[in-house]
Amino acid sequence: MPSPASEAAPEPWPLVAVLVGPTAVGKTAAALALARHRPIEIISADSRYLYRGLELGTAKPTPAERATVPHHLVDVTTPDAPWSLSQYQAAANAALAAVVERGRLPVLVGGTGQYVRAVVEGWQPPPSDPTGATRAALEQLLAEAGLAPLVARLRAIDPASAEQIDLRNPRRVLRALEVATLTGQSFVGQRTRQAPPYRFVWLGLTLPRAELYARIDARIDAMLAAGLVAEVEGLAAHGFGWDLPAMSALGYGQIGAYLRGECSLADAVQAIRRDTRQFVRRQANWFRPTDPKIRWFSANSGVAAEIDSALTAAVAHSPY
């Protein structure tokens, strides 16, 4: 029998950086700056970046930025062909494996907490109704009465899921209600996990709330000046319905209400500001400052160098 000293040491699991934080905090800029320190490829964990045509309202990386650093899961579908969480998870896992195979560092970047957790924790989806009857009944209620009754029902029977998922997204509300109705258990509580074979280093960007809100307001002003209204108008002209999840995304739903004559432009802009602040508070449920896995950094001009040092230290302190 070989002695312990003669046994080959196990191969270290590949390192994956996970860069999270609230919207407008500067995640994309930090990831692009990190590329000046080490060879990386960025894997988006932003549910809105998936859609072609949603550019200004999503603050999507520009074509020039994407040419500088390889990006994955950006512009992969159209607004009328939404992806499920399982589709995103499968594509993200394939991208991770490909980046690792190329010998580069994958950096999972985004503020969609459900996407990040699904990949990092290896979620396995809860069961669905094989007959489709439950989903059909819920979809009929949605068509007849709108989203509000479904949200109220979810809050009543599954408050934990109502706290975590995006209640403005009909597909996510329908899915959570379907699972809770079928099983009598919380949707978010039923996710089984099979951790993928990577060593994830969690990195979070943060700012004082007042400074973050100022950035959000400046970003919204810049989106409008760059032509957000025309972008939303163009999407509608191409036949993308207002009921699509992509068309109800932050910025798009509110400008859509303005274009339909339901409010003034000033009211729509105020709604974007308000709803973005609410979104920031929901994001905090996924990435809590007290989470011991996440190392938080102030989102300043030198943060990429700090993140690079943290990654170097993570490699040096590998248990393998």
The CATH number for 68's domain is 3.40.50.300
Same structural domain, 196 and 177: no
| Six token digits for residue 42 | 């960025």
Task: Using the 3D structure, point to which of 148, 163, 190 is the last residue of a domain.
Answer: 190
Residue 220 lies in a domain: yes
| Alpha helix ranges (H) inside the chain | 27-34, 63-68, 85-101, 113-121, 133-145, 147-157, 159-164, 170-183, 209-226, 228-237, 252-259, 265-286, 303-316
**175, 190, 205 - which closes a domain:** 190
Answer yes or no: are the C-beta atoms of 37 and 306 closer than 8 Å: no
Same domain, 67 and 184: no
What is the domain-level CATH number for residue 171? 1.10.20.140
Domain of 40, in residue numbers? 13-125+192-316
Per DSSP, the three-state class of 106 is strand
Same-domain status, 49 and 96: yes
Both 119 and 229 in one domain: the answer is yes
User: What mean pLDDT do residues 7-19 have?
Assistant: 78
In this structure, the answer to whether residues 267 and 286 fall within a common structural domain is yes
Residue 116 and residue 213 in one domain: yes
- What does the pLDDT look like over 238-265, one tens digit per residue? 999 999 999 999 999 999 999 999 999 9
Q: What angle do CA 49, 193, 41 make, to 5 degrees?
A: 35
Instruction: Give yes or no: residues 108 and 150 share one domain.
Output: no
**What is the rounded distance in angstroms from the CA atom of residue 93 to the CA atom of residue 130?**
26
Three-state DSSP at 297 gives strand
Question: Is the separation of the CB atoms in 21 and 303 below 8 Å?
Answer: no
Distance of CA 184 to the CA centre of its chain: 27
Q: Which of 146, 162, 190 is the last residue of a domain?
A: 190
Q: With contact defined as beta carbons under 8 Å apart, do 54 and 246 qualify?
A: yes
- pTM for this structure? 0.82
In this predicted structure, the answer to whether residue 318 has a pLDDT above a threshold of 70 is no
Q: Measuring CA to CA, which residue among 51, 22, 66 is closest to residue 231?
A: 51
Domains contained in the chain, number: 2
Q: What is the pLDDT of residues 73-130, one digit of tens each?
A: 999 999 999 998 889 999 999 999 999 999 999 999 999 999 999 999 998 877 667 6
71 and 114 both lie in a single domain: yes
Residue 171 lies in a domain: yes
